[in-house]
Structure 1
Amino acid sequence: MNSILRVENIETAYGSSQVLFGISLDIKQGETATLLGRNGVGKTTTLRSILGLTPVKRGEVYFRDQRIDPMATDKIARLGIAIVPEGRQIFPNLSVRENLVAFAGNRSKTTDPWTLERVYGLFPRLKERADNLGNQLSGGEQQMLAIGRALMTNPHLLILDEATEGLSPLVREEIWTCLRHLREHGQTILVIDKYVDRLLSLADRHTVIERGRVVWSGSSEQLRAEPDIWHRYVGV
């Protein structure tokens, strides 16, 4: 499989405070990958570096064999990277339908694009609430809307930052089912989440970071065989 995203030894700092120290990861086309670690270890900074929100001091980021770390964030997004951000960040004063169509496009130029009806099929509750404003939705419904909005861009790579944070167990299961469906249909996904036990059955490859450095990477089979790794670096 070809790499869709390659992060090569990036170092990132906020002013004089360095946060990332040579982070590398490689995501193949069609893979579901994770970025794991406790709060404050550099996961969000890694995402910000990939998306051009925080400049990379050293190292390089490639998306579909094109170097993107010098690019502006909006140009990176138009290449086909969509993020479901932590905290959802939907538009509170737009309806569900308006949120979904606001940035709709076919950035991956797929012949079977995500449409409004396909998203409603994935999340029937959004269809029921199509005319409701974003701030009238529950947290779970807002997360479904954030995922649907990202899918409506038809990205090459879908990134989910803290995908199930603050959601009820029932809604979390809906999100896991959604991600499994997307994986089965070939969507390349990068997930940041803390539920390693669920990610083991969902993802192909995992990267664990601690204090801005990669401390472990490997397959689900390998991580399952080393539970001490995820208890040490991810467990609460």
Structure 2
Amino acid sequence: MSLLKLTSVEAGYGASQVLFGIDFQINEGEVVTLLGRNGMGKSTTIKTICGLLKPRRGSVRFNGAEVAGMATERISRMGIGLVPEGRRIFPNLTVYENLVAFARPGKWTLEHAYKLFPVLEKRKDNMGFQLSGGEQQMLAIARALLTNARLLLIDEATEGLAPLIRQEIWRCLHEVKKEGQSILVIDKYVQNLIDLADRHYFIENGRIGWTGSSEQLSEQPEIWERYLGV
């Protein structure tokens, strides 16, 4: 079943158009990636889904309902959770306070989050600004999970993190996938995403240029070169 479906979505900022007819969908329980070079429209797509940016044309349907143009908080309540680029945790709240601030009843509980990220329980009384970059990213993911969203959007999952911390984030995302969580993830580490995700979309100049399964992407490294330069 299609959980999220974008059809012919166009969006931009002021006189500048960024998205030119984006089409993609995420099914229930899938992990899907959105890949591309910087400035191609990945974060703009995320903002359009979340209601931070109103599309100029096209449809954004979540769980069968049209959400294009809805207020961000209403879209969130419908079941879309965001781990934003830059993490954006509350620096002057404790880890515990960050986690419970927007928590909603459901499968993901505080205890469940602590089991997934044990370091957060150890540091639950620390302020947000006292955490390392990796710990802040874990906190941002756990905070979004505790909203018990049906769809989790992760914008730059491991950007700027040390290799060992990246490995821990990937491990945790695999665990989240096993729980049946639907996820749209943006990141640049293609091999890790191939191991994690079911399907992939490559975006170039505001248009979807290629889409396929992890198996297909693994067999076509020329796709990586064309759209990522790797």
Give your verdict on TM over 0.5.
yes
Alignment of 1:121-140 (within 5 A): 121-140=115-134
Deviation at 1:124, TM superposition (A): 0.7
Please state if 1:215 is matched with 2:209: yes
Q: State the secondary structure of the residue aligned to 1:191.
A: strand
**Equivalent residue for 1:72?**
71
**Equivalent residue for 1:165?**
159
Determine the C-alpha separation between the residues in 2 that align with 1:143 and 1:96.
Answer: 12
Alignment of 1:192-211 (within 5 A): 192-211=186-205
Please state if 1:19 is matched with 2:13: no
Q: What is the aligned-residue RMSD (CA, Å)?
A: 0.8
Alignment of 1:89-128 (within 5 A): 89-106=88-105, 110=106, 113-128=107-122
Deviation at 1:4, TM superposition (A): 0.5
Counterpart of 1:69, as a letter, is A
Deviation at 1:13, TM superposition (A): 2.0
Deviation at 1:128, TM superposition (A): 0.6
Counterpart of 2:221, as a letter, is P
Alignment of 1:17-56 (within 5 A): 17-56=16-55
Deviation string 1:109-153 (CA, Å, 9 cap, x unpaired) is: x4xx11111111111100110100000000000000001100111
Q: Which runs of 4+ in 1 moved over 6 A?
A: none
Identity %: 60
Alignment of 1:179-194 (within 5 A): 179-194=173-188
Counterpart of 2:99, as a letter, is L
Determine the C-alpha separation between the residues in 2 that align with 1:226 and 1:117.
Answer: 41
Counterpart of 1:187, as a letter, is Q
Deviation at 1:70, TM superposition (A): 2.3
Determine the C-alpha separation between the residues in 1 that align with 2:172 and 2:64.
Answer: 28
Q: State the secondary structure of the residue aligned to 2:37.
A: coil
Counterpart of 1:55, as a letter, is K
Q: TM-score, normalised by structure 2?
A: 0.98
Determine the C-alpha separation between the residues in 2 that align with 1:75 and 1:20.
Answer: 23
**Equivalent residue for 2:224?**
230
Determine the C-alpha separation between the residues in 1 that align with 2:39 and 2:119.
Answer: 34
- Quick one: which of 151, 171, 176 aligns to 2:170? 176
Determine the C-alpha separation between the residues in 1 that align with 2:83 and 2:115.
Answer: 19
Deviation at 1:15, TM superposition (A): 1.4
Counterpart of 2:80, as a letter, is I
Name structure 1 gaps, 5 residues minimum: none
Q: TM-score, normalised by structure 1?
A: 0.96
Name structure 2 gaps, 5 residues minimum: none
